[in-house]
Each structure stands twice: as structure tokens, then as C-alpha cells.
Structure 1
């Protein structure tokens, strides 16, 4: 007995799938660090390394890749934090790696994170009073 399939039977399912967000990036943690930002492990004392937006980061051990991460760019968004109301909903930023978290001049708010964001970058995706946040990030 042959059974025919109606291609339209899947339309309601396909319609509903568009409302679910799929993760395309990796998940990690981020801290923040204050100035001074120079010198950096990637570009030394060259201040032109910093984007004019001040959206930059230092790479943690997990993404440092022996310095190969210098200059890489990532999309970053806060997905959660210890305190409710910390994250800025639906806000994604574009950061450039300019340093190694293990060699930054000033202490980060928390050690051992995937990224350490500049104060401007951190404040763009979360309340700056948070010590660290959970992030989704994707290299672009």
C-alpha cells in the first residue's frame, strides 16, 4: 500500500521553528578590567590597536591560542549573570582581541574567564557592577 505525503503538513512545524533561537557560538564567561590598557601582549604600546568604539577584550587561556587570537574579532552577548537584571537583553557587541588576560596591566574583576572585556564593552552588555557574566561568543 502506497502512502502519499502532503508537503504542506510540515508548514506549521516550520513556522514555529523560526521562533526558537539556536546557539551558533560558544558559551563562556567574561570579566572586566579598567585602564590602563597599554602595553598589550598583542601590539605593545601601539594605541591604534584599539577600536574607536572601545569595544575590545583580552583573551583568556581557552581562546588565547599562543597569541594567534590577537586581532580576532568576536560577537559577544551576555546570556546570564549571578544577579537577575544584570544583563542587557538582546544586546550583542563586536569586540577585538588586543591582549592576553594573563598579562594585562590591571587586575580583572575575576580571574580565569574566557574573556576579559574593557569597561566599555562589559557595560554595553551587562550592568558594570557585576563581577562576571556568562556569555555566548562567536568568532567573525
Structure 2
């Protein structure tokens, strides 16, 4: 029984370390959303990439190196006063486009992706995001 308990304790410790590492690597920014049509996009032209997609600002874009990268995005707060917008969920999105100069957020989520993590009436939210 001692060996089983030691293995369980080790697995729990490793799991906790992985969780803490991913939280420590999360960057903060803001997110807005855009509405269809989602094509053409800067990365894929007229190729459809589903609904869980996003455009990124210069903060992540890196001269197109962000194309195809997946990010886990979590709403952590409001950018303006009012009802807290966050649903308490996260979403994984694929970067398919560039949010040009004047972009209002770090990541511009598809309307569907934004709605999965926050109330669209908020318009703009504070997020944490990590590359997956």
C-alpha cells in the first residue's frame, strides 16, 4: 500500500506543478469580438477555420508567426463598470487573422468565442491567455 500512496502523492504533486506553471505563464490583455463573415483572413484567405477563431493585435502577431497558433483565453474581469461579464469558463481559439492598427484589444475573438466566456454586452473584457 505504501508504494501506491507514494505514487498517488507524486502524481498529485506533478499535477499541481503543471497547473501552477500554466497560470504563471499566462499573459494578460484585453479582448473584443468581431462578427461574421470571418473570411477572408490574413492567415488562410478564404479557407474556413470554424467558429472558435481570433484575430490578434501586434502584441501577438509577430509578422504572421501567430497564424495557426492556439490560445486558451479566460475572461478575468470587466474593462468598464457594470455587471461582471465573465461566465467563469475558458475557450481555445485559433489565430487566423490580424487585427489592424486601431484594434481595441490584444485578441479580437469571433463573436462565438467571446460569447462562450463572457457576456457580449460587455464589448471588451480583461483576459488571461496562454499558448496551447
Task: Answer whether TM exceeds 0.5 for this pair.
Answer: yes
- Residue 62 of structure 2 corresponds to residue 70 of structure 1: no
Output one character per residue of 1:83-136: Cα deviation in whole Å (capped at 9) or x when no partner: 3321112x1111100100118xxxxxx833110000000000100111100000
Q: Distance in 2 between matches of 1:37 and 1:45?
A: 9
Greater Rg, structure 1 or structure 2? 1
Does the 8 A contact of 1:78 with 1:126 survive in 2?
A: yes
Unaligned runs of 5+ in 1: 1-17, 104-109
Alignment of 1:36-55 (within 5 A): 36-47=37-48, 50-51=49-50, 54-55=51-52
Bigger helix fraction:
2
> Which residue of structure 2 lines up, in the alignment, with residue 123 of structure 1?
115
Q: Distance in 2 between matches of 1:85 and 1:102?
A: 28
Unaligned runs of 5+ in 2: 1-15
TM-score under structure 2 length normalisation: 0.77
Secondary structure class of the residue paired with 1:46: coil
> Which residue of structure 1 lines up, in the alignment, with residue 31 of structure 2?
30
Report the aligned-residue RMSD.
1.8
Q: How many residues are paired up? A: 110
Q: Distance in 1 between matches of 2:126 and 2:24?
A: 14
* 1:58 Cα deviation from its structure 2 partner: 0.3
> Which residue of structure 1 lines up, in the alignment, with residue 12 of structure 2?
none
Output one character per residue of 1:52-93: Cα deviation in whole Å (capped at 9) or x when no partner: xx111001111000001000000000000123321112x111
Q: Distance in 2 between matches of 1:60 and 1:139?
A: 15
Q: Distance in 1 between matches of 2:24 and 2:128?
A: 8
> Which residue of structure 2 lines up, in the alignment, with residue 84 of structure 1?
83
Does the 8 A contact of 1:60 with 1:100 survive in 2?
A: yes
Does the 8 A contact of 1:61 with 1:112 survive in 2?
A: no
